[in-house]
Amino acid sequence: GAGVSQSPSNKVTEKGKDVELRCDPISGHTALYWYRQSLGQGLEFLIYFQGNSAPDKSGLPSDRFSAERTGGSVSTLTIQRTQQEDSAVYLCASSLGGQPVYEQYFGPGTRLTVT
Amino acid sequence: AQSVTQLGSHVSVSEGALVLLRCNYSSSVPPYLFWYVQYPNQGLQLLLKYTSAATLVKGINGFEAEFKKSETSFHLTKPSAHMSDAAEYFCAVSSGSGNTGKLIFGQGTTLQVKP
């Protein structure tokens, strides 16, 4: 079956612009995670959605970052007024449930470059 | 707070030699532990996970890891390296508290396999 897909695969934007990154999870997966992979910080958790529960936003680095998940499926990560330090690969993962016993399946990521 | 330390950002072995990638964790609650592999320009793939069952965990591609509570370690091993094992490997921990499987990753270890 289809895995987790992310779009775009690459995004180059100018400093100060807003960007939207999209994640399509595996059908039927109720949990969705966003992570960021950068040279300086490694792999960091950003935000987590589980069903209709309030999202866990504890990993978002600033209020310029936000995310939503519509209809319990597709998720969009929005970065406002992008800065050069936002350059990274943004990874999305989904799983059958929110507990760690459920394997997280990762998408290929979106590489964001802020110039 | 949970954390993961991977000893050695780069490990080089000869083809056919033992692979040993080191991971130590810190957790105030019984942890769930994971090893992921990332091939160039791809997302993360789960190799194996420890979820408080058997302390010796077998994963895909001939890898295994042993959970040692007394040493707070979860080292990854493979008896005989193959060229296709060259990749970046991440150790991760999750507490499972709050019904979330969010992962805390180590900094990663790049495995080089020499012919």
Quote the pLDDT of residue B99. Answer: 63
CB-CB: which of B90, B96, B98 is closest to A43? B90
Give residue-wise pLDDT tens across range B45-91.
999 999 877 889 999 999 999 999 999 999 999 999 999 999 999 99
Alpha carbon distances (Å) from B40 to B5, B37, B49, B115: 22, 10, 22, 19
Q: CA-CA distances (angstroms) from residue A98 to A9, A85, B10, B29, B96?
A: 26, 30, 32, 18, 8
B14-54: per-residue pLDDT in tens? 999 999 999 999 987 778 999 999 998 788 999 999 987 78
pLDDT in tens, A54-113: 899 999 999 999 999 988 799 999 999 999 999 999 999 999 988 878 889 999 999 999
**Contact: A43, B101; criterion CB under 8 Å:** no
A42 and B100 in contact by Cβ < 8 A? no
Contact between chains at B99 and A50 (C-beta distance less than 8 A):
yes
Residue A11 near residue A19 (C-beta atoms within 8 A): yes
What's the pLDDT score for residue A8?
97
b/e sequence B74-87, b meaning 16+ C-beta within 10 Å? bbbebeebeeebbb
pLDDT digits (tens, 9 = 90+) for A12-31: 999 999 999 999 999 999 99
Residue B2: predicted pLDDT? 84
> Could you tell me if B36 and A104 are in contact, meaning their C-beta atoms sit under 8 angstroms apart?
no
Helix, strand, coil proportions of chain B in percent (round to 5)? 10, 55, 35
Cα–Cα nearest to B75, from B59, B86, B83, B64: B64
Task: Give the pLDDT score at B30.
Answer: 79
**Is the model more confident about A46 or about A52?**
A46
Task: Note the pLDDT of residue B53.
Answer: 76
Q: Which residues contact A4 (CB under 8 A, 6 or more apart)?
A: A23, A24, A25, A26, A92, A93, A94, A105, A106, A107, B43
Does the structure show a pLDDT above 80 at B96? Answer: no
